[in-house]
Each structure stands twice: as structure tokens, then as C-alpha cells.
């Protein structure tokens, strides 16, 4: 039996219809698409974000009253409309001090039960610039969860200065952390770290025998990780090339990946002679691995964005981009710094970071098609710059996707001429063309479709309160009508069923189903065609 009622939407009586193209700031988010939040008055920097199942947005970073010495964990939760969530902490904000030194947040995630886990690294008391891993777990209301390591806080010392960079929650609720040891300042003798905790904060002894793995003497840094559908763990690091590793559930290296679980590559060394620094990693549903980061051109002394894809065995996916990689210069010799990667439900790839151009830094979002080409349906050329202050810098450090694929980007912006004075900066962008309404009346009709993704057997159900002529169209995500399903058919009041005979010539992907009536009503549903 097929599951139904995947999406329901009302028909509204409207006086004006307008559209917002993909890449537009979402005016349903704080009316401008942007939010600025001051936590401590000086140094507030958002470093990570996660989306709750109810659509609320959790943003985590560092906060400091003087922005020079001690820093603490700062967390802000926003309602879906961009307002502060007053049910969280104090007026939507929570500040946590690990041990009265400098604390840096690098990741945040949401457990299935709604609890929030934040990770990063904390300065060791009396040892300047030496750090330990930390993790803090919060209850849904922002209070510290004492069931995690009895205090809600766990720090880990590895013998050297250790920087935690990434975090994930397994389906079995175990918590995995990734990072690296700084054994020397040249980053040529570092060590990759992967550690796994049980849900209560204790080390998971079923993972590599003692809950942690350290790979000594690796050049570069471990910056990203993800988990496959079979629960194997992929980690990504960087030096002069790209390094990927894959682990079994028990922490053993997966011999079916690369060479004994390790893949090192410079992509196409005959064409790309500069250095690669990996910053983000995501595993697709088909097991392929997408990575992004900086590409440093030695000849021009500048940074560009690279996005590359690898097959599930670690080999380069030559069907992606140009021989497995795409290099992007965002704004004509700008300095481009990607930090975060997300994959939409339709397979499109979103990269968030910041760009230095024309004397200032801007938020930057780039979107690529599933085969690695800049997506011209997004902001006309696949690239988007956003400023939060017409004269100050704005830095984007992380992105996340809502269930509707809207893009949430977080970072910080300078709030005055003093570069040390920064606030949390959050922006939300539309992922696809959105049909919106103004001056609409109360809902008087209803429409639903099932199953969705649609097939030849999909049924559109709608209810009319009065007799009217109905037209139904299928458009692409840019609003172009590609098939007329019903044209000016007179319908009586009541419930109606329509089998969607969508043309087989229309390729798989995302589309908009639009219904219009002679009474001035209009509604739209985003659908997926298999």
C-alpha cells in the first residue's frame, strides 16, 4: 500500500501573485532574509548551525565581552521566521564557559530526541595556545544536560594540542568527533583524530578498542566527515592534496576503499599544480563522496573554490565537472574561501563561505548541478554575494539546509570600524523559484498529491467550495510552463481526483504544479518526478 499525503496546500483567493527566483534572500525570514544578533557586545562569531525537525534554527559559535582574551560558547536559537526563540535559554541565547579560558566552537548537531550537541576545542589552563577537545550537550530548552558525562561537559586531552573540527551523530545515537593534533606549527607532522562516545558521554570501547583513533604524522588537517547509509564513517583532510579515509563501524579501516582505507590524491596533477585544502565533505545517497575546499594557484597567488567528487571506492568520479573537479573563481580574481557543503534533495550541491573582493569580505553561496556545473538557475550564474553592512566585512562560516531545501548561512559581520567588534549574522536563501501571494483571504479550498515523487499513478486531489473553471499546469523551477494538464475545465463544488499523466518526455527532477481557477484562486506544489 502506497503512503499518501506527502504534501498538502491550500488554494487562496489572491489579488497579486509574484515570484522570487532561486538564490533570493527569503523575505519570510525577518522580512529581509537577514538577522543580526549581538550576544556579548564585542566578539560574537557564528561557526556552525543545525536545523531542528520543527524548523527552528540553532546557531553556535563563540562570544566574548572584550573579543581579545577569554571566549565562551554562544548559542542562539531562532524561530523559522527569524525571530529569537524565547523558549530557549534567556531570550533565545545561551552562553557556556568551559574552563575560564578561550573556547572555540566548530560544530553543532541535533540528536533525534532534540538535544543539542556542540563541539570544539578549549584552551588548557596555564598552557597558552594548547587545546583539548570538548563536547557539551544541552536539553531542548537550552539547559545543560547533566546525563551527559554527569556535568553535561566533556573534555579530552590527547597529549598534544588537539583541535576538534567536526561532529556527527550515528543512527544508534553514538557521537563521533573528528579533528587533529598540532605536533608542530608547520602542519607537516600532525595527526588525524577520530573519537566516538556513547550517548552518555563515555568512550565507546567498541570503536578501535578504546573509543579513539589517532593517525600520526599526517601532513595537514582533518576538517570534515560524514556517515554513509551503511554507517561507515568517511573523514576528509588536507595537505598539498586531498586525503580521505573510510572506517568500518568498529573503527577498522575499510580495505575496500582506496588503498587499505586511505585515498590521497591531487585530482589531475597535470592540470592542477597548486595546493588543495579540503574544508567540507558530504556523502550522496548513491555512496559517492563530494568534497570542497580551497585551491591555491601558485602562479597567481590566489585562492579559488574547488568541488570534486569521488566514487564509493575512493577513485575519482570523472563524470563530475572536468575530470572529477570544478574550479570556481567567484568574482574575477577574488580571494574565495569555502567552509561548508550541503547537498539538496534533487542532488544539487551548495557551498557556503566568504569572498574577499573590492576591499571587503562578503557571504558567498555557490550552487552546482548534480554533475558539477555551476547552476545558472541560482542567482543567474550559480554565485551569490551578500553583505550585512555596506562598509564592513561579513564572513560566512557554515550553511545548513532546511527540509524544504532553503539555505541557511551563518557567520559574523563587523558592527563598527573596530574589526574586533562582531555579531552573529544569519541569512536564509530560497533554493528554488517560489510563487508567493499578497493580500490573500482565508483558506477555502484544499489540494494534495500522492505519491510524491510523482509517477504515472500519482493522483491530485482537490476540493472546491463553489463552481469554477480549473486550469492545472506543470512548470520548471524557473516558472516556465512545460505541460498543460487541464485547461479551463468546469468543475462543480466538492472533492475531485485527477490522475497526473505527466509526459514521459519530461526528465526527472523538481517541478512546480500550479492550479488556477476562474475565481482568481491560485496554488502551487513543488513535486519531484522520478
Distance CA 237, CA 221 (A): 5
The answer as to whether 360 is a domain residue is no
CATH number at residue 444: 2.60.40.1930
Domain membership flag for residue 450: yes
Question: Poorest-confidence range of 257-261, 266-270, 271-275?
Answer: 266-270
- Indicate whether 260 belongs to any domain: no
Within-domain flag for 270: no
Confidence of residue 444 (pLDDT cuts 50, 70, 90): very low
Give percent of the chain with pLDDT exceeding 90.
56
160: in domain: no
CA-to-CA separations, 180 to 88, 92, 236, in angstroms, rounded: 32, 32, 11
Burial of 260 (0-12, 13-18, 19+ CB in 10 A): exposed
Average pLDDT score over residue span 56-67: 87
Mean pLDDT across the stretch 131-144? 97
Q: What per-residue confidence (pLDDT) applies to 5?
A: 28
Instruction: Give the model confidence (pLDDT) of 1-58 as tens digits.
Output: 333 323 333 333 333 334 568 899 998 899 999 999 999 777 899 999 999 989 999 9
* pLDDT for 101 beyond 80: yes
> Vertex 29, ends 28 and 32: CA angle to 5°?
90
Judged against a pLDDT cut of 70, whether residue 339 lies above it is answered with: yes
Mean pLDDT of 427-438: 68
- Residue 312, phi-psi category: left (phi > 0), alpha (psi -120 to 50), beta (remainder): alpha
Residues 96-120 have a mean pLDDT of 95
Residue 49 falls inside a structural domain: no
Mean pLDDT of 139-158: 95
Asked if residue 144 has pLDDT above 50, the reply is yes
Per the listing, cell 550564474 goes with 381
Q: How far apart are CA 349 and CA 352, in angstroms?
A: 10
Question: pLDDT digits over 184-240, tens only?
Answer: 655 456 789 999 999 999 999 999 999 999 887 666 789 999 999 899 999 998 865
pLDDT computed for residue 269 by the predictor: 56
Residue 62: name the closest of 517, 404, 395, 304 by CA.
395
**% of the chain exceeding 70 in pLDDT:** 84
Number of separate helices (H) and strands (E) present in the chain = 0, 38
User: Which domain, by its residues, includes 458?
Assistant: 7-11+437-529
Largest CA distance in the chain: 80
pLDDT on residue 143: 98
Domain count, the chain: 1
Q: What confidence score (pLDDT) does residue 477 get?
A: 64
Q: pLDDT value at position 272?
A: 63
Residue 476, domain member (yes or no): yes
- Residue 85 scores a pLDDT above 90: yes
Question: How would you classify the pairing of strands 93-96 and 72-78?
Answer: antiparallel
The gap from C-alpha 300 to its chain's centroid, in whole angstroms, comes to 31
Q: What is the pLDDT of residues 209-221, one digit of tens each?
A: 999 998 876 667 8
Higher-confidence residue of 456 and 132: namely 132
- Alpha-carbon distance 175 to 380, whole Å? 40
Mean pLDDT of the chain: 85
pLDDT at 72 (0 to 100): 94
pLDDT at 62: 94
Task: Answer positive or negative: Cα dihedral of 421, 134, 241, 263.
Answer: negative
Place 437 in a pLDDT band, splitting at 50, 70 and 90. Answer: very low
513 domain-assigned: yes
Distance in angstroms (rounded) separating the CA atoms of residues 166 and 154: 16
Cell of residue 223, nine digits: 576538517
The pLDDT of residue 525 is above 80: no
User: What is the value of pTM for the model shown?
Assistant: 0.79
pLDDT at position 66: 63
Task: Report whether 410 contacts 41 (CB < 8 A).
Answer: no
- Pairwise pLDDT comparison (58 vs 68), residue with the higher score: 58
With 90 as the cut, is the pLDDT of residue 374 above it?
yes
Amino acid at each position: 500500500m502506497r503512503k499518501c499525503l506527502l504534501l498538502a496546500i491550500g488554494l487562496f483567493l489572491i489579488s497579486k501573485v509574484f515570484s522570487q527566483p532561486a538564490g533570493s534572500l527569503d523575505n519570510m525570514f525577518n522580512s529581509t532574509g537577514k538577522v543580526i544578533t549581538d550576544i556579548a557586545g564585542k566578539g560574537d562569531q557564528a561557526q556552525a548551525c543545525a536545523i531542528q525537525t520543527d524548523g527552528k534554527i540553532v546557531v553556535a559559535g563563540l562570544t566574548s565581552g572584550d573579543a581579545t582574551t577569554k571566549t565562551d560558547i554562544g548559542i542562539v536559537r531562532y524561530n523559522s521566521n527569524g525571530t529569537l526563540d524565547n523558549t530557549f535559554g534567556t531570550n533565545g541565547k545561551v552562553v557556556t564557559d568551559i574552563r575560564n579560558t578561550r573556547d572555540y566552537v566548530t560544530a553543532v548537531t541535533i540528536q533525534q530526541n532534540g538535544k543539542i550537541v556542540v563541539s570544539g576545542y578549549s584552551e588548557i589552563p596555564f598552557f597558552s595556545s594548547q587545546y583539548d577537545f570538548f563536547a557539551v550537550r544541552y536539553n531542548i530548552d537550552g539547559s545543560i544536560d547533566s546525563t551527559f558525562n554527569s556535568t553535561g561537559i566533556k573534555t579530552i586531552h590527547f597529549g598534544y594540542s588537539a583541535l576538534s573540527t567536526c561532529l556527527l551523530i550515528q543512527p544508534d545515537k553514538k557521537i563521533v568527533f573528528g579533528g587533529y593534533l598540532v605536533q608542530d606549527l608547520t602542519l607537516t607532522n600532525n595527526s588525524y583524530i577520530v573519537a566516538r562516545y556513547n550517548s552518555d558521554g563515555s568512550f565507546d570501547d567498541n570503536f578501535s578498542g578504546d573509543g579513539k583513533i589517532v593517525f600520526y604524522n599526517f601532513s595537514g588537517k582533518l576538517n570534515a566527515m560524514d556517515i554513509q547509509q551503511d554507517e561507515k564513517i568517511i573523514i576528509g583532510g588536507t595537505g598539498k592534496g586531498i586525503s580521505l579515509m573510510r572506517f568500518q563501524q568498529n573503527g577498522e579501516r575499510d580495505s575496500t576503499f582506496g588503498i587499505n582505507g586511505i585515498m590521497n590524491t591531487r585530482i589531475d596533477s597535470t592540470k592542477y599544480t597548486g595546493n588543495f585544502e579540503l574544508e567540507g565533505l558530504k556523502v550522496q545517497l548513491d555512496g559517492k563522496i563530494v568534497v570542497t575546499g580551497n585551491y591555491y594557484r601558485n602562479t597567481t597567488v590566489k585562492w579559488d573554490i574547488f568541488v570534486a567528487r569521488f566514487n564509493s571506492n575512493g577513485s575519482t568520479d570523472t563524470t563530475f565537472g572536468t575530470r572529477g573537479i570544478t574550479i570556481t573563481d567567484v568574482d574575477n580574481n577574488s580571494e574565495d574561501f569555502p567552509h561548508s557543503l550541503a547537498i539538496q534533495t534533487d542532488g544539487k550541491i551548495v557551498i557556503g563561505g566568504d569572498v574577499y573582493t573590492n576591499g571587503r569580505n562578503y557571504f558567498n553561496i555557490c550552487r552546482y548541478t548534480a554533475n558539477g556545473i555551476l547552476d545558472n538557475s541560482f542567482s543567474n550564474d550559480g554565485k551569490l554575494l551578500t553583505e550585512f553592512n555596506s562598509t564592513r566585512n561579513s564572513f560566512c562560516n557554515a550553511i545548513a539546509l532546511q527540509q524544504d531545501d532553503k539555505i541557511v548561512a551563518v557567520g559574523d559581520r563587523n558592527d563598527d570600524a573596530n574589526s574586533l567588534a562582531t555579531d552573529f549574522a544569519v541569512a536564509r536563501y530560497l533554493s528554488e523559484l517560489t510563487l508567493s501571494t499578497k493580500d490573500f483571504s482565508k483558506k477555502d479550498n484544499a489540494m494534495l498529491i500522492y505519491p510524491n515523487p510523482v509517477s504515472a499513478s500519482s493522483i491530485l486531489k482537490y476540493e472546491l467550495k463553489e463552481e469554477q473553471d480549473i486550469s492545472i499546469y506543470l512548470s520548471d523551477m524557473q516558472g516556465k510552463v512545460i505541460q498543460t494538464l487541464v485547461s479551463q475545465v468546469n468543475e462543480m463544488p466538492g472533492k475531485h481526483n485527477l490522475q497526473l499523466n505527466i509526459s514521459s518526455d519530461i526528465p526527472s527532477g523538481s517541478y512546480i504544479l500550479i492550479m488556477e481557477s476562474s475565481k482568481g484562486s491560485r496554488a502551487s506544489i513543488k513535486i519531484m518526478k522520478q
